[in-house]
């Protein structure tokens, strides 16, 4: 019963049953290996330990040669008769297992703290633009790339029918939400120029330029962050031609939640 609860918690985190059992088996094997080494060092003589590790190495070599590769050859770099040397860094063959593919999604930095509606993502590929595929969240990288300011989220797709190929480009769609309340305004209210991004707030019927940062987009509205308060009056269609102090009339900003 407790094991089922643990599996349920891992599923909530986006880890499916197969990954959980595989990870559990690896942990048990690691613990058993440490215990085995302790008993070998504690109860066997030096000669017996030599025999033990020698036969262990022979068995490891046998397992290696009997190992079967579950995959397909996706690239062959050499043909029979090709001259090769020690300085050649290319592998002879590249074998890939495409039964389970990993979808890597670069998520912009401003979205990394938001919560996806579900651990399942929908995506399409150029080869089949009319078909929608789904994948399950496996892990987040936990760091932001310094070059493009994105965090990589990895999703697992079970490619049982081999419909997709490794290396394909995909277009993914993720719906985000926030725990806390935030402000949504029409996209036309946010003004962007070469210097900054701002909205125009009316106070005592005079225009004020308030710097903001964009958040999540939702339909024709966009989430903004800045020195704003509930009940502020903003200009519905902003423009950088309006200067601070200009007398105007605007529209009230309502408080809402990103969903």
- Over residues 82-141, the pLDDT tens digits come to 777 667 777 777 777 788 899 999 988 878 887 787 788 899 998 888 899 999 998 888
Q: Rounded to an integer, what distance in angstroms lies between the CA atom of residue 155 and that of residue 120?
A: 8
User: Which domains are present in the chain?
Assistant: 2-68 (no CATH), 98-176 (2.40.30.170), 182-256 (2.40.420.20)
pLDDT value for 74: 77
What is the reported pLDDT for 20?
66
Q: What is the dihedral of CA 173, 179, 185, 186, to 10 degrees?
A: 20
Q: How far apart are CA 251 and CA 255, in angstroms?
A: 13
C-alpha radius of gyration, the chain, whole number: 29
Q: Give this prediction's pTM.
A: 0.54
CA 32 from centroid of its chain's CA atoms? 33
Give the residue ranges of DSSP H helices in the chain: 2-12, 17-43, 46-66
What residues contact residue 215 under an 8 Å CB cut-off, 6+ apart? 110, 114, 182, 222, 223, 224, 225, 258
Helices (H) and strands (E) in the chain, counts: 3, 17
Q: Is 10's pLDDT higher than 60?
A: no
CA atoms within 13 A on the CB side of 183: 23
Q: Please give the Cα distance from 51 to 45 (Å, whole number).
A: 10
């Amino acid at each position: 019963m407790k094991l089922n609860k643990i599996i349920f918690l891992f599923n909530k985190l986006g880890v499916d049953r197969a990954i959980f059992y595989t990870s559990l088996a690896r942990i048990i094997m690691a613990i058993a290996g440490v215990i085995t080494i302790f008993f070998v060092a504690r109860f066997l003589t030096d000669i017996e330990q030599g025999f033990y590790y020698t036969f262990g190495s022979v068995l490891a070599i046998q397992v290696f040669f009997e190992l079967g590769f579950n995959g397909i050859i996706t690239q062959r770099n050499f043909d029979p008769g090709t001259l090769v040397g020690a300085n050649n860094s290319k592998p002879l063959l590249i074998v890939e297992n495409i039964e389970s593919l990993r979808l890597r999604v670069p998520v912009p930095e401003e979205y990394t703290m938001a919560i996806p509606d579900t651990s399942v993502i929908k995506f399409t590929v150029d080869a089949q633009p009319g078909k929608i595929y789904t994948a399950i969240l496996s892990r987040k990288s936990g760091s932001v790339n310094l070059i493009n300011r994105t965090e990589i989220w990895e999703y697992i797709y079970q490619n049982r029918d081999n419909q997709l190929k490794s290396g394909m480009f995909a277009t993914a769609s993720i719906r985000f939400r926030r725990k806390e309340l935030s402000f949504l305004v029409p996209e036309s209210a946010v003004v962007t120029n070469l210097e900054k991004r701002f909205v125009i707030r009316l106070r005592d019927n005079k225009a004020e330029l308030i710097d903001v940062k964009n958040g999540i987009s939702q339909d024709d509205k966009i989430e903004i962050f800045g020195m704003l308060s509930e009940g502020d009056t903003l200009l519905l269609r902003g423009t950088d031609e309006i200067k601070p102090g200009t007398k105007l009339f605007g529209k009230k900003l309502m408080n809402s939640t990103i969903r």
